[in-house]
């Protein structure tokens, strides 16, 4: 019996009445019009595009962590784990975004630094939402957005919603773990501070079945926390290399501010519990 012949691949469609379907979906022409360097230095384009790429990754991460938080609230661990796993890959891509900027010398950065004016990454509203989801909250962080009511309202809403870690602790409590009421019922608009009882819960989780849902969730969160720390540290190193200890753009403390951020631990009890296992 003759064997069936594989179908010949069809030639791609190259004729469209208006824009291509790719353009309609990706909006590439919109993206490529968003770069407007303000200096004559050719290096500014890489700085601007890299910063915009970082903003896009912030948007994706906010989406993933909101998805994970909602899934945990609904006791859908597989959906939460899938979102956390995706976010780890996305964090790796975000962190790689520092490479075009990590080798800047002070002279190279100074060639277009004045074009930034008072602009500073500290002012990124999407990054602020990302930090809020990680549990690093403070009402004072809303001050820069008072002049943009819609952005301020969105961030104020995010400030008062449970963080990803708040949802993790509530999920653990529903699974029968002794998370204190003082943690579960706390004001979620303030930064989560490490609690000894929560540390003990994670200690027991890690001393038990390594294939348990709790242990797998803990490791997924630890991976996220480590990659966030690497992001903060890479930001610190790149800034220190480009401008030393000078005052940052927008009047920030520059390296001194970034050092404080890099020293903060995301999901703290997941790290301290390891000392007791």
Which residue ranges are tagged as binding site?
A: 113, 235
C-alpha pair distances (Å), 220 with each of 8, 50, 61, 226: 44, 27, 14, 10
What value, to the nearest 5°, has the Cα angle with vertex 134 and ends 188 and 81?
Answer: 110
Burial of 224 from C-beta contacts in 10 A (0-12 / 13-18 / 19+): buried
C-alpha to C-alpha distance for 186 and 163, rounded to whole angstroms: 12
C-alpha to C-alpha distance for 198 and 132, rounded to whole angstroms: 20
Q: Read off the DSSP letter of residue 72.
A: H
Which residue ranges are tagged as binding site for substrate?
A: 113
Contact of 178 with 195, CB cutoff 8 Å? no
C-alpha to C-alpha distance for 216 and 265, rounded to whole angstroms: 20
C-alpha to C-alpha distance for 101 and 239, rounded to whole angstroms: 9
DSSP strands (E only) in the chain: none
Give the other-Cβ count within 10 Å of 277's Cβ.
Answer: 11
C-alpha to C-alpha distance for 76 and 79, rounded to whole angstroms: 6
Q: Read off the DSSP letter of residue 250.
A: G
Which among 15, 129, 1 has a CA at the least distance from the CA of 62? 129
250, two tokens: 């927008």
Which residue ranges are tagged as binding site for heme?
A: 235
């Amino acid at each position: 019996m003759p064997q069936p012949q594989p179908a010949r691949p069809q030639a791609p469609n190259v004729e469209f009445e208006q824009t291509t379907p790719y353009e309609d979906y990706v909006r590439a022409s919109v993206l490529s019009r968003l770069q407007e360097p303000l200096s004559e230095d050719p290096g500014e384009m890489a700085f601007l595009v890299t910063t915009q790429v970082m903003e896009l990754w912030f948007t994706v991460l906010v989406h993933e962590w909101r998805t994970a938080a909602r899934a945990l609230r609904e006791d859908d661990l597989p959906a939460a784990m899938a979102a956390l796993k995706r976010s780890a890959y996305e964090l790796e891509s975000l962190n790689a975004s520092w490479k075009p900027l990590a080798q800047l010398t002070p002279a190279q950065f100074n060639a277009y630094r004045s074009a930034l004016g008072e602009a500073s990454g500290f002012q990124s509203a999407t990054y602020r939402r990302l930090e809020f989801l990680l549990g690093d909250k403070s009402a004072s962080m809303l001050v820069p957005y008072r002049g943009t009511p819609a952005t301020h309202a969105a961030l104020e809403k995010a400030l008062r919603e449970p963080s990803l870690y708040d949802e993790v602790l509530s999920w653990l409590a529903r699974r029968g773990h002794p998370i204190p009421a003082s943690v579960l019922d706390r004001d979620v608009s303030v930064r989560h501070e490490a609690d000894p009882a929560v540390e003990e819960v994670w200690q027991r989780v890690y001393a038990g079945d390594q294939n348990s849902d709790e242990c797998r969730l803990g490791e997924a969160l630890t991976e996220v926390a480590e990659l966030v720390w690497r992001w903060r540290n890479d930001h610190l190193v790149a800034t220190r290399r480009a401008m030393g200890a000078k005052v940052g753009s927008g009047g920030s403390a520059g390296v001194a501010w970034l050092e404080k951020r890099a020293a903060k631990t995301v999901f703290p009890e997941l790290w301290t519990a390891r000392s007791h296992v």
